[in-house]
A and B are shown apart, each in its own frame.
Chain A
Amino acid sequence: MKKISVFILAAIILSAFSNQDASEILRKVDANLSSENRVFESTITIHGRRGSRTITSKSWSVGDTKSFTEYLSPAREQGTKMLKLENQLWIYTPTTDRIIQISGHMLRQSVMGSDLSYEDMMEDRKLTEIYNASILGRDMLDNRDVYIITLLAKVEDVAYHTQKMWVDADRFVPLKQELFAKSGQLLKRVEMKDIIYVDGRWFPTTMVYKDMLKQGDGTEFKISGIRFNQPIPEHLFSKASLKQ
């Protein structure tokens, strides 16, 4: 009896404060994940039906509108550069010595056979700008105390209408994310691991994306050497720098 009343009490308190708390949680998540600018090296491992492939690249980005990526390996991709400004994307490849603009419809295609589309990669808006959050409950995940929050889109032009997020209650970093269709169908699952503390924030350095409708082992995205608030020369974000 005592247990039950405690539970009811907890539920009442939770629901009263949840929306405010949830927004607070989301704000803290944003504070960890989004940044004015960042530089990082990353490794993408794509699991295909015939084995896996790893691509390494270095990226520079400012805010949510500009980013520049250079591929470092494998040999085939080496020297390939990508420039994103607002909603436009250009690719330069040394083999063709061409700057090619990737237009709207291509952005929805998957990047190099991964479970990510260009659009997924280009979505850099703050979560608080897109979603309203509410707390669903608390749980343990990978021995960490987590909040489970639901995110419901508050704007129209968003890829995933709802998300369910497992946020580390202490560090405010998402550890797991489920992306849903409007109908409630689970579309993608992202698992974040290897959380590090860098430049005053907690950041996941391993993310595993899995398209839940498709068979396969998903795509692994590993970040190494991430730095925030670095001086990035403005001329990097120009088409001229693609050819350099």
Chain B
Amino acid sequence: MIKFLLKGLVRDKSRSWIPTLVVAVGVMLSVFLHAYITGFMNETIEMNAQFFNGHVKVVTRAYADEISQIPNDLALLETDILVNQLKVQFPDVQWFERIHFGGLVDAPDSLGETKTQGPAMGMAVDLLSPTKNEVQRLNLYKSLVRGNLPQKPDDILISDFFAQKLRVNPGDTITFIGSTMNNAMAYHNFVISGTLSFGAMALDRGAMIADIEAVRFALDMENAAGEIVGFLPAGFYSSKVAHAMQSDFNKVADETDVFSPVMLTFEDQGDMATFVNLAHYMGAIITGIFMLAMSLVLWNAGLLGGLRRYGEIGIRLAMGEEKVHVFSTMIYESLMIGIAGSILGTSLGLFFAWLLQTYGLDISATMKGASIMMPTVIRARITTADYFIGFIPGVVSTLIGTALAGIGIFKRQTARLFKELET
């Protein structure tokens, strides 16, 4: 029976090709849109995760308590061992040591005395390792306004706005004054390799990024780091995965030692939970509305499919086929069309979403220029839901449409069939 119906579908292009195509296009749009919305809605989350919060973050218990004040005196020690441990326990997650630090930046005049001075916020990341993971993660290359990325340990990137305020240029030396993790005064000369646009005034006023090894030396933090950030293998934040990791990691943590490492999820930091919540709801709402519209369209398509075959059904009824049988074969056929269309559509949708996830949509043309906190590339994000979400409108709505069209079958009177066919 199924074989027979399939043959019919394959051989009669008008019966199969157009409806399948319509379903496929619809499903493709659903899948693509869902992936796009997920990516779009999580953009703020990802940006904050990449720059500040990580998907997960390991810090000392004491540091976590005062995290808003970036207390480096409470930093993690022996981070090489800890990073290795993390890599063993969570092999798919990318781990990076980072140090946030604050202090003064002092620019010298020609005599080496203070010319200008300003408060600065710094972040130390691994800039020099050959993988350039962090350079890409922070979108440094695109955000560069003048000069180059750091090549040497003492190279530093500072915000372009800040550089102008201090009246310094790439190539100039600046002195950082802060405090070491032992609360001693820290002084270090950095060479400005380039200037950056952060895209957020609070950062543009005095932010800088340096290589972690130089900062460790400057802040007397050998083999220490304020935090170790982890990024999930999917490249996107998942509340479930992060929380599972957290409970896994923290169950062995020593509750009594304030310097023992603890894991924080993205949501544990600041009001990021609100962000995650908001993105989740907005995504769900838009998807819901779209699914409803999609269902109506495919329902309509199913209905149209039924109408297309008005004549054929008339003949079949005239030849004595049971109405119930005609109806059920139509339902079966639409089921096949729905499934075939959904499979095709899901594949296409996933393909396009994958393209957009991998390459991103560059909207920098509409913007003044790229910056770190203002991503100009919008990416889709494929989640497990994308693999089945298209089947709901794809199969169910097609079935409903066909069923509605099929009701007509029962209304038709055999006696009038030939008359209808004559016209």
Q: Which residues of A are in contact with B by a Cβ distance under 8 Å?
A: 46, 48-50, 53, 55, 76-77, 80, 91, 93, 95-101, 103, 106, 112-114, 239
Contact = CB atoms under 8 A, between A and B. Distances in A.
A112 B184 contact: yes
Interface in B104-163: 104, 106, 108, 112-114, 117
Nearest to B73: A48
A93 B185 CA distance: 10
Contact of A50 (B108, B189, B220, B259): B259
B175 A48 contact: no
Contact of A96 (B62, B183, B188): B188
28 contacts: A48-B73, A49-B73, A49-B74, A50-B73, A50-B74, A50-B182, A53-B182, A53-B183, A55-B184, A76-B184, A80-B185, A93-B185, A95-B188, A96-B189, A98-B106, A98-B189, A100-B117, A100-B175, A100-B177, A101-B114, A101-B117, A112-B179, A112-B183, A113-B179, A113-B182, A113-B183, A113-B184, A114-B183
A44 to B, nearest CB: 11
Contacts of A239: 113
B187 interface: yes
A100 B185 contact: no
B187 A96 contact: yes
A99 B185 CA distance: 14
A222 B188 CA distance: 29
Contact of A93 (B62, B113, B187, B258): B187
A239 B70 CA distance: 34
Nearest to B117: A103
A76 B188 contact: no
A106 B73 contact: no
B73 A97 contact: no
Given A98-B106, A113-B73, A46 B175 contact: no
A219 to B, nearest CB: 11
Contacts of A113: 73, 179, 182-184
Contacts of A97: 112, 189
A144 B113 CA distance: 50
B180 interface: yes
Given A48-B73, A50-B73, A50-B259, A98 B108 contact: yes
A40 B154 CA distance: 37
A98 B220 CA distance: 19
Interface in B166-213: 175, 177, 179-180, 182-185, 187-189
A77 B184 contact: yes
Contacts of A96: 175, 187-189
Contacts of A50: 73-74, 182, 259
A112 B185 CA distance: 6
Interface residues of B, number: 24
B420 to A, nearest CB: 91
A76 B222 CA distance: 13
A95 to B, nearest CB: 6
B179 A99 contact: no
A101 B113 contact: yes
B160 to A, nearest CB: 23
Nearest to A97: B112
A98 B258 CA distance: 38
Interface-centre pick from A91, A93, A239 (highest chain B CB count, 10 A):
A93
A97 B108 CA distance: 11
B121 to A, nearest CB: 16
Contacts of A95: 187-189
A95 B217 CA distance: 11
B104 to A, nearest CB: 7
A50 B76 CA distance: 12
Contacts of A101: 113-114, 117
Contact of B220 (A76, A93, A106): A76
Given A48-B73, A96-B188, A106 B104 contact: yes
Given A76-B220, A100-B177, 17 more contacts: A48-B73, A48-B183, A50-B74, A76-B184, A80-B185, A96-B189, A97-B189, A98-B189, A99-B112, A99-B113, A99-B114, A100-B117, A101-B114, A103-B117, A113-B73, A113-B182, A239-B113
B422 to A, nearest CB: 97
Contacts of A80: 185, 187
A46 B180 CA distance: 13
Contacts of B259: 50
A186 to B, nearest CB: 24
Contacts of B175: 96, 98, 100
Contacts of A106: 104
Contacts of B73: 48-50, 113
A239 B113 CA distance: 10
Interface-centre pick from A53, A100, A112 (highest chain B CB count, 10 A):
A100
Contacts of B74: 49-50
Given A76-B220, A101-B113, A49 B187 contact: no
Nearest to B177: A100
Nearest to A95: B187
B182 A48 contact: yes
Contacts of B183: 46, 48, 53, 112-114
A212 to B, nearest CB: 19
A69 B164 CA distance: 34
A53 B182 CA distance: 8
A121 B359 CA distance: 58
Contacts of A100: 106, 114, 117, 175, 177, 187
B225 to A, nearest CB: 15
Contacts of B62: 49
Nearest to A239: B113
A96 B106 CA distance: 11
Contacts of A55: 184
A33 B201 CA distance: 50
Interface in B15-64: 62
